[in-house]
Structure 1
Amino acid sequence: MEFCPECGAMMLPNNGVLKCNKCGYSNELDNAKEYKVSEDVKAEETVKMLGEDVDVGPVTNETCPECGHDKATYKMLQTRSADEAPTRIFTCTKCKHTWRAYD
């Protein structure tokens, strides 16, 4: 696979010449190299949009100070200096209240 030195796009072989379809740069093919182009591309949607109200992440037994529910998701962030413990940020799986816990 060859890339255009001008714009970085992929260059495709055409009648013995490598040509960039983006900027028009061209270069003669080296006979020692073999080029094969397949334009059969099957696109699949691999990204699924889940929305904002999705419980993603590990679930732990933590009591929500707002509603008293005993399950929450959490994530850990380094909010203070690197030599201190990370901050755990909990989100209640029932009411979506968010709170912090420091070690």
Structure 2
Amino acid sequence: MEFCPQCKSMMMPKDGMMVCRKCGHKLPKANSESLVSKTEQLSRIVPVLEQESAGLPTTTARCPECGNNVAYWWLRQLRSADESEVRFFRCTKCSNTWREYD
């Protein structure tokens, strides 16, 4: 990184010269100087939803698929704020998910 000897602002490469972004002072660019920018994609591990279910509260609700009477539940606001929330259920036995509108 090169700084302007006159105003101490950062200089940028332009047309084989180093040019000050603030005052326009120019210096010849040395052959050894180069600008390299590298970016790298980071991999992320996304948690699986089944592991999340263990932290949800349970209630008595009959599963339409297997007939089990215990289900996890949670609320989500799917529409505008002036409409009621939707209650979701997930069966603790077969993991079937269904919703209940109020």
Task: Please tell me whether Structure 1 or Structure 2 has the larger radius of gyration of its CA atoms.
Answer: 2
Give the structure-1-normalised TM-score: 0.48
Give the structure-2-normalised TM-score: 0.49
Larger helix percent = 2
